[in-house]
Structure 1
Amino acid sequence: MRGVVLKNAFDQPPPFRMILVDHNEIEQSLPGVEEIPVIEVIDHHRIGMPPTTAPIRFTADVVGSTCTLVAMMFRSAGESLPAGLAGLLLGGIISDTLLLRSPTTADLDRRMCDWLSKIAGVQPEELMDELLRIDSPLAAKPAHDVIHGDRKDYSDGRFRFSLAQVEESNLELLRQRRDELLVEMKKLLDEEQLDFVGLLVTDAVRETSELLITGCEELIRNLPYAAVAENLFVLPGVLSRKKQLLPQILAITATLQDQR
């Protein structure tokens, strides 16, 4: 009978199994994931998941994109890869690594990029141009989607915070929408009781970013970046949230905690 939960169902194990892709920290996954057995992880981020009750397959490496690891799994298994799927994985790699310019880029990213490019029949530069042309988040998306589209939540001691990132070729749009974006960021700050929220807007072509941030004033005062407006900083040469911005943020939060 549909829609009825029987008593013995509460004693049964969940009928689902979970494979975590491009993340492994429970806080970044779906609500309720802690109730579902995780049987595999494919990721390139720091390891922050709790212990599992049984051994699992864990594929991780220091690369710029999880798509690189997925492509390598196809290649190692000798599986044929359709051109469309190769193009999809290629798009993921060049987007994550900002056309292989990000400091997170590894040799394996470059090798898989070459391999996928031949299968898909498209050059990475051409695909990147097309992605930038059709996806200008600050020109087309509402503030909520800009903040929540590619957002990572972190915790470090007493600090809980969120960092979002978008790629944008016209950074002037950030300054035009600054107040609107700050309203959405402060809403997130209050709803999830975070200490601060940051939005990293990256121009891969010019190899620079700007950071819009709100929340903990003590942390904001300690940022080693030049302010161009209230809550807005310019970060020349910074392209990676994970490898460049996050370590700087964690260094500041660690210092602030030591001072308490």
Structure 2
Amino acid sequence: MKREKIYIVGHINPDLDAIASAYGYEQYRHSLKEYEYRAIRCGEINSVTRWVFDRYKTPIPPFFPSISNLNVVLVDHTYPENRPKGWENANIVEVIDHHDVKLVENIPKRLTIRPCGSTSTLIVEKMVNSNISIPFNTAGILLSAILDDTLGLMSPTTVQLDIKMVNILSNIIGISNVQEYFKLLFKQKDVWSKYTAKEIIEEDVKSIEIDGNWVSVSQVETLNNREFNEREIIEELEVNNSIKPYSLRIVMLTDLNKRDCLLLVVGKDIPLVEKALNKEIKDNKVYLKGVVSRKKQILPILENIYS
């Protein structure tokens, strides 16, 4: 009897982890002879994702404009606002994620939600626990995704499980210095000077609703967060907010060298952010030393503001 296809998909505006975890879970299921699983994507890939898949000679999952009327596994996200187009009419059979859970309806029977630095970490753990031999190319892709999502294991989101899986994968592909590999990986990211303010905002953005308040947080990772035209980005945020008002629109300009970030903020609730940070936001800008993680260091502040 032919089984119905099940499509594995990450969030819109996919980063490397969203694509790699979908691909990795496809390979995991195929190793169990469950060939009905197929990795797809519902957004354009970024430069580092293309470099990684090219490096390991692996086809990028195909693009689907919508997941309407499909059986799907959601990876690397649960929030409805981050799901691909057509999710309301999809049959969500499973969710695998390392973020907070936000499932109000269509709750699947199979849920893997663990606090760690990367969804790819959870995929590797499944393979290891099932005694599956991980192929070279799959190991390289998943290793790259974990390092990318954890900022080379330096992010506050990093846990021991991430480190353990990185050690296993680096042994498979013969990498002795993961930090040097992370530097090579990071060099593949697009040069931000080529980007418009609109592209910078949309490259890696998370939009969420907290108790009726919509907020968006874009993150840009760089080795020099002083290279941006901050005023242009702020003006673009204000244009976006005039078209579709949010309580807050934020861009994190994260400097991995200095381990800090410059926060650009617009919206009616700037005073609430100032109170939470105990800092003045001057000209829509505030410097935050030691802040590099959207998930661990910025989103919790926003959640507390509206709780």
Q: Which of 217, 221, 229 lines up with 1:163 in the alignment?
A: 217
Secondary structure of the corresponding residue to residue 71 of structure 1: helix
Secondary structure of the corresponding residue to residue 227 of structure 2: helix
Q: Which of 199, 211, 216 lines up with 1:145 in the alignment?
A: 199
Amino acid aligned to 1:45? H
Amino acid aligned to 2:250? G
Within-5 A mapping of 1:114-193: 114-122=167-175, 123-174=177-228, 177-193=229-245
Rounded to whole Å, the distance in 2 between the matches of 1:188 and 1:180 is 12
| Shift in CA distance, 89/190, structure 1 to aligned 2, threshold 3 Å | farther
The residue that corresponds to 2:125 in the other structure is 72
Rounded to whole Å, the distance in 1 between the matches of 2:69 and 2:210 is 34
Q: Is structure 2 residue 284 aligned with structure 1 residue 245?
A: no
Q: Give the alignment's TM-score, normalised by structure 2.
A: 0.72
Which fold has the larger relative contact order, with Cα–Cα distance below 8 Å and residues 6 or more apart in sequence? Answer: 2
Gaps of 5+ in 2: 1-67
Secondary structure of the corresponding residue to residue 111 of structure 1: helix
Within-5 A mapping of 1:55-66: 55-66=108-119
1:227-256 CA-to-partner distances (Å, cap 9, x unmatched) read 5851111111112111111111222233xx
Within-5 A mapping of 1:202-241: 202-216=254-268, 217-224=270-277, 226=279, 229-241=282-294
Deviation at 1:141, TM superposition (A): 2.5
Deviation at 1:212, TM superposition (A): 1.0
- Count of residues in correspondence between the two structures: 238
Rounded to whole Å, the distance in 1 between the matches of 2:280 and 2:181 is 34
Runs of 4+ with >4 A deviation? 225-229
Q: Which of 85, 90, 99 lines up with 2:138 in the alignment?
A: 85
Rounded to whole Å, the distance in 1 between the matches of 2:243 and 2:74 is 26
The residue that corresponds to 2:28 in the other structure is none
The residue that corresponds to 2:247 in the other structure is 195
Rounded to whole Å, the distance in 1 between the matches of 2:275 and 2:143 is 38
Deviation at 1:187, TM superposition (A): 2.9
| Shift in CA distance, 148/211, structure 1 to aligned 2, threshold 3 Å | same
The residue that corresponds to 1:16 in the other structure is 70
1:191-249 CA-to-partner distances (Å, cap 9, x unmatched) read 33312110112222322111111112333442526558511111111121111111112
1:128-185 CA-to-partner distances (Å, cap 9, x unmatched) read 11122232552332222221121111112231110111211011113xx112212322
Rounded to whole Å, the distance in 1 between the matches of 2:115 and 2:125 is 13
1:64–1:104 CA contact under 8 A, matched in 2: yes
Secondary structure of the corresponding residue to residue 222 of structure 1: helix
2:224–2:257 CA contact under 8 A, matched in 1: no
1:209–1:235 CA contact under 8 A, matched in 2: yes
Secondary structure of the corresponding residue to residue 201 of structure 1: strand
CA RMSD of aligned residues (A): 2.0
Deviation at 1:62, TM superposition (A): 1.0
1:211–1:234 CA contact under 8 A, matched in 2: yes
1:171–1:203 CA contact under 8 A, matched in 2: yes
